[in-house]
Structure formats: C-alpha cells, structure tokens
Amino acid sequence: MRTAIAVVLALLASFCFALGSLIQQGAARQTDGRALRLGLLVALVRDRRWLGGMALTVFSFAVQAAALAFGPLALVQPLATLDLLFALPLIARLNRRPLTAKSIIGGLCVAAGMAVFVGISPPTGGIGAPPVSAWIPALIAIAAFVAVSGTVALRVRGTARVILLAAAAAVIYGVLDGLTKSTVDILSHRGAGVLATWEPYALIAAGVLGGLFGQSAFNAGPLSLSLPVIDTVEPTTAVLLAVLVFGESLASSPWQLAVQLLGAATAATGIILLSHSAVVLAEDRRESARAKPET
C-alpha cells in the first residue's frame, strides 16, 4: 500500500511540475527582456500567470517530498523524470498538432534513459554535510561551465541558445539539490544553528541564479527542447555531486555502470531527436509569432 501511494504521489508531482513549467515558459516567452538579465525575473514576478506556474512547481516539490515519505528514493526519483512525458502531449495540444513518432520516441528516450541512470544504482552512504573544502573543486568546475555556457548562449540564437541556457540552469539545479541535502542535514542536527553556516545562503544564491538561467532558457525557446535538457543534466549533476562531494557510492559492479552509461546515452539521443522534431519546430514558430521582439 505504501508503495502504491508513493507511485501515485510521484506521478502527481511529475504532472504538476510539467504543467507548472509549461505555464512559466509561456509567460517567460512573452516577456520582453534579455537573457540573463535580472530585469527578466523582476518582470516575471509581476506576472500572475507566471506566479501560478511557480506555485504549481513548488507544490510539485512538496508532493514529491510526501512521496519520499512513503517510498524509497530509487522508486520516486525515476518517476519524477517522467514530467517530459506529461509535458509533450500538453505542448502538442496547445499547438493543435499531433505528436509525431520522432517526438514520442525522443520523449521516451529521455524519460527512460534518465530513469535507468538514476534508478539502476542510486547513490548510497556518504556524509550529510560535507565541509566546504570538499565543495570547492566541484563549485569551481561548475562555475566555469556556467560562465562559458552563458557567454556562448548570449552570442548564438535558436536551438543552441536554448540548450546552453537550459544546461547551465540544470547544472545549477543539481548544485541546489546538493545544498538542500546539506542544509536539511545541518538543520536536523543543529536547528537554528544552521544560520551560522554557509549552506543556506549558498542555497538562496543558487536558487536565484538557477532561476535566472532557467527562465532565460524558457524565454529563449520551446519548452519541448529546454525541459529534456534540464531533465537529463540536473539528475546527472546531482549524482556526480553525490559521489564526488558527499562521498556516496554509485555503481557497485561493471554491469551497473555500463547500464547507467547506456541510460545517459539514451537520454542524450532523445534530446537530439526532440531538437529536430515537429513539436519543437511548431512550438518555436507559434511562440516566435506571438513573442515580443527581443531587445
């Protein structure tokens, strides 16, 4: 019974996240503002539709937390990657176009690939709140990736800009996952003493930065392209941080590692298929026609 409840809650969380992302992206796409400018976030906060989408997104995280209370991470997290399978039919319906075989196969590849990657051998063990010295190498590498991605994204247009901004946002979201884990662990042991540590402040900064990149990706192009990238890169980043920063163990055998790499490759193939699918092209044309000119 507990497993059934966990499955239902995880699927509900996945659907709410897909719907919330669709609403936020629609508002962001129509907002006049340059990518990676704080003015974009300021404008979106004033948009009631965007706030409604954000409320759905926050609710999805609450529902996912409830799912984790009834079931293990190895069950809930793979189901959480199915949001793309809910988003694609919603996008197709919004564009009044049927889903093509390429779109369906691409979406299935992303969802199945990441479900396998996360679920085949979820990280175990490790420490709850690593010292800042353990974070520094990872944060330097991530900061470099985000800086390069953001710089290049501002120099390109179309699909390349969406993918770069979404990838940078997803990497930051992965850091956000790790900082959330550390903050919760410190809070459970030290209570209000968590305010004397660096993690909660880094958590807030990562949240704002991730939001800036994420909404910039939504503003730049179709959700059917940015969401698969986020769904792939975020859990991959989180898993790598779990191993490299938190000292958790990953694949316990060569075959598990091989299956995980196959899952990641499958997800990457799905992104490539989706980037050339009719649903992405139709969504891009419709949004370009209604969006305000970029300044």
The verdict on residue 130 lying in a domain is yes
> pTM for this one?
0.82
The verdict on residue 189 lying in a domain is yes
Range of the structural domain that residue 163 is part of:
2-290
Q: How is residue 168 written in tokens? A: 């940078």
- pLDDT digits (tens), the chain, 295 positions: 777 888 889 889 989 998 999 999 888 888 876 778 888 888 899 999 999 999 999 999 888 878 877 876 556 767 777 788 888 888 888 777 777 888 889 888 988 888 887 777 666 667 878 999 999 999 999 999 999 999 999 999 888 999 999 999 999 998 988 898 888 888 888 888 889 999 999 999 999 999 999 999 998 888 888 888 988 888 888 888 888 888 877 666 788 888 888 988 898 888 888 877 776 666 666 655 555 544 4
Of the CA atoms within 13 Å of residue 220, those in its CB half-sphere come to: 30
d(CA 202, CA 179) in angstroms, rounded, equals 7
The verdict on residue 43 lying in a domain is yes
d(CA 165, CA 210) in angstroms, rounded, equals 10
The verdict on residue 282 lying in a domain is yes
- State how many domains the chain has: 1
d(CA 53, CA 154) in angstroms, rounded, equals 26
* CA distance to 10, 55, 185, 249, per residue, from 13 (Å): 5, 12, 23, 27
The verdict on residue 295 lying in a domain is no
The verdict on residue 211 lying in a domain is yes
Secondary-structure percent of the chain, ordered helix, strand, coil, rounded to 5: 80, 0, 20
Q: Residues of 21-51 as b/e, b for ≥16 C-beta within 10 angstroms?
A: bbbbbbbbbebebebbeeebbebbeebeebe
Torsion angles phi and psi, residue 21, rounded to 5: -65, -40
The verdict on residue 244 lying in a domain is yes
